Amino acid sequence: MLDLWERGSARFKWWQDWRGQCVAIVAAGPSANKVGVETLRDRIHVVAINESYRLCPWAEVLYGCDDVWWHIRREKVRGFEGVRLGHGVKEKGIHDVVVARDKAKNLIHKMLYDEPGVVGAGGNSGYQVLNLVTQFGATGVALVGFDFSEHGGVHWHGAHPAPLRNPDNGRFHEWRRHMTAAAPVLKKMGVDVVNCSKTSTIECFPKMTIEQMLRRWSL
């Protein structure tokens, strides 16, 4: 992993040095705007996914794997001061993260640590960011708004407008399966992942509030 981090740092100006540190990934599940994300500010590294930059505009990184989302939101996110990352995004100022495919062009759904900036798909941006921040060296990761269910609506901000897609229970099932498979890999690497959503259907990581998570890591 040290070699991976060093290669990433040498290759990308946007590469983050989060070795041995903790990060919160704020996704868009309905719980995201109810758990107190404001308490994360200045206490932990934060990555916002898609619309959740609106909950934490002070996040250090904004990630969206969908080129269409960046195109639709290009004016609204213009004031975001952190690093902007996406996959295959044509908009100016968005650094590229590669979502891996095999030789048959099928997406690879597993945590990857062979090449910096090349991540597993997992079906969603949250999985990809989880892979990426552990490439940055993070050893504690809090999942915020990773509800993976339609309970309370698919997103805290409502449904994405067309032509953007919205998940359904079938896709949530696939997302859970990929996350469950990733859990033992992350544990073996010494990464402590916690789930800060009581209503989340992800059961492979311990659940706790944001305040409990901050105490767990003495932040």
Give the model confidence (pLDDT) of 151-187 as tens digits.
Answer: 766 765 556 566 667 666 778 789 899 999 999 999 9
What is the domain range of residue 91?
2-216
The CATH code of the domain that includes 105 is 3.90.1480
Structurally, the chain folds into a number of domains equal to 1
**β-sheet bridge partners, residue 122:** none
Amino acid at 67: D
144, 37 in Cβ contact below 8 A? yes
According to the model, what pLDDT value does residue 157 have? 59
Q: 22-31, 112-121, 163-172: which range is least confident on average?
A: 163-172
pLDDT band at 131 (very low <50, low <70, confident <90, very high): very high
The values of phi and psi at residue 155, to 5°, are: -140, 155
Q: What mean pLDDT is reported for the chain?
A: 91
Q: What's the pTM?
A: 0.94
119, 110 in Cβ contact below 8 A? no
pLDDT band at 206 (very low <50, low <70, confident <90, very high): very high
C-alpha separations of 55 from 52, 60, 124 in Å: 5, 13, 19
Q: Where are the beta strands (DSSP E) in 125-213?
A: 140-144, 192-195
